[in-house]
Amino acid sequence: MSIRVTFNSHTHQTETMGVPLKRTLTKLFRFAIVGVVLAIALQTYLRQRQEYFYSGNDIVKHIPTENRHETFQEPEENSNATLWQLMLQDPTITEFVKLNTPFGDINGPLDDPSQIWTLYVPIDSAYKDALHPTDAPPFYWKFLSLNHFGSGAVSYDDMLASTTTTVESRIPHDIFFNYRQRISVKNQKGEIAFNHVGKYVGKQLKAVNGYVHHISTTLYLPDSTSEVIRDNPSFETFRRGLIFTNVGVKVNDTQRHTSQTIFAPSNIAFKKLGLKANKFLFSPWGKPYLAALLRNHVVENRTLFTDMYLQAKGAGKIGLNTTSEPIRLPTMNSGVDLETSIVLNENRQSIRLNDKTVASDPDIITMDGVIHKIDELLLPPSLGDYLDGVGHGIDLDHRSSGSAWYNFRWPWNAPSSEISVDELMERLQPLVEKGEVS
């Protein structure tokens, strides 16, 4: 079933509570459109898949050992108390406890000393400004709760480490339950932010079977890719391009993909091209070239975080750090790949594209994947760049033997100065799909 969400702007509410309320209602609408049958099926499926939600036996090909503990280490205070027992005794998180008390299949595992978990629990004051529907069905609250904890023990020091940029939750990342959704963890000068919004509050609590971390806000279920792009002002030009070229329709089409990675160029990235190039791209004559350019920034059915790679078709997840081998990701342009590697940027792991462009704001979690903000457009190399770097005699048809040209990594970036319309057309022409240019 395909769920489509447009990139079109909505009238912003003047009241501060309007946008969160609209988002909440939108999420509920997604559940409502599949009706009572899906609700019943989901409840049944959740009961049948308790092992998925509550077991911690994930197979990971590589996880940096310095920031993941399969067994809880060095329990100190409260070492005889389970996570659920600690939470019952904590006067600052009573609202979260109240919401989870009816769910024995949640608090049961948290009360089991043999199961290791880490919780990211909103303090009571977080619920004062939160807009949760009063008549939401039980599975809404269950999914919301499952977005606040994950398997394994992750300490405060672990989250400060440069190699920890996301942590696992218990909600599904894809409709086939191949992977679990992740939570962004960003260390901003010693202050930890969750999903770029929630802040770390107070001190961690240790239990015999894991950690409890207090956070300042509810970790709402992730918005769709289109909603995130629409609501982020720095993606305004990118959003207009997606609408203008109809590439956004493909980005929204869940029949095309189960997940996706978007390397979203900021307004700054487009400005680097210069005024003339931008006017051309957003004209009827430049529309096919803009579509080709935007397709370079979209990877379907693969989700690359800065510390974890979720492979296509449930083939497994791979933990990443700066020593990991580069990963090639196929873009929406047939035969064109991006080479990605993990690098340190301001003492945190980030993604570098084609040996040059580093994501300026990585790991923006979405309902259907992840967005990495970049401040450079991913342009293919000019013919001159390629011939200077490799040699002559290359067939330029990228759908045959010329794909090596597009995979030549070094020039795969916007030029340092403004680009001419002629050069822009030269670079993008081989990527324009047949029939796009009359």
Q: Residue 161: which H helix or E strand, with range?
A: none
Q: Mean pLDDT, to the nearest integer, of 190-205?
A: 92
**Confidence band of 236 (pLDDT split at 50, 70, 90):** very high
Asked whether the predicted pLDDT for residue 92 surpasses 80, the reply is yes
Residues 6+ apart with CB under 8 A from 97: 87, 88, 90
The tens digit of pLDDT for each residue in 296-331 reads 999 999 999 999 999 999 999 999 999 999 999 999
Biggest distance spanned by C-alpha atoms of the chain: 73
Q: In the prediction, which pLDDT does 133 show?
A: 77
Asked whether the predicted pLDDT for residue 19 surpasses 70, the reply is no
Mode of pairing for the β-strands spanning 317-319 and 308-310 = antiparallel
Q: In the prediction, which pLDDT does 414 show?
A: 57
37 vs 153, which has greater pLDDT?
153
Asked whether the predicted pLDDT for residue 156 surpasses 50, the reply is yes
For the domain bounded by 225-431, which CATH number is listed?
2.30.180.10
φ/ψ region of 195 (left if φ > 0, alpha if ψ in -120 to 50, else beta) reads left
Across 29-33, 152-156, 204-208, 328-332, least confident range: 29-33
Tokens 């457009």 -> residue: 377
Across 298-307, 369-378, 417-426, least confident range: 417-426
Q: In the prediction, which pLDDT does 296 show?
A: 96
Asked whether the predicted pLDDT for residue 111 surpasses 80, the reply is yes
Q: Shortest CA distance to 147 belongs to which of 169, 177, 132?
A: 169
Q: In the prediction, which pLDDT does 28 show?
A: 52
Looking at domain 58-215, does it have CATH number 3.10.20.30? no
**Confidence band of 29 (pLDDT split at 50, 70, 90):** low
Asked whether the predicted pLDDT for residue 405 surpasses 90, the reply is no
pTM value surpassing 0.85 = no
65 vs 260, which has greater pLDDT?
260
**Cα–Cα distance measured from residue 293 to residue 431, given in angstroms and rounded to the nearest whole number:** 8
Q: In the prediction, which pLDDT does 239 show?
A: 99
- For the chain, give every domain's residue range: 58-215, 225-431
Q: Residue 151: which H helix or E strand, with range?
A: strand 149-151
Say if 58-215 and 225-431 have the same CATH topology: yes
- E runs forming strands in 189-223: 191-194, 198-207, 210-215
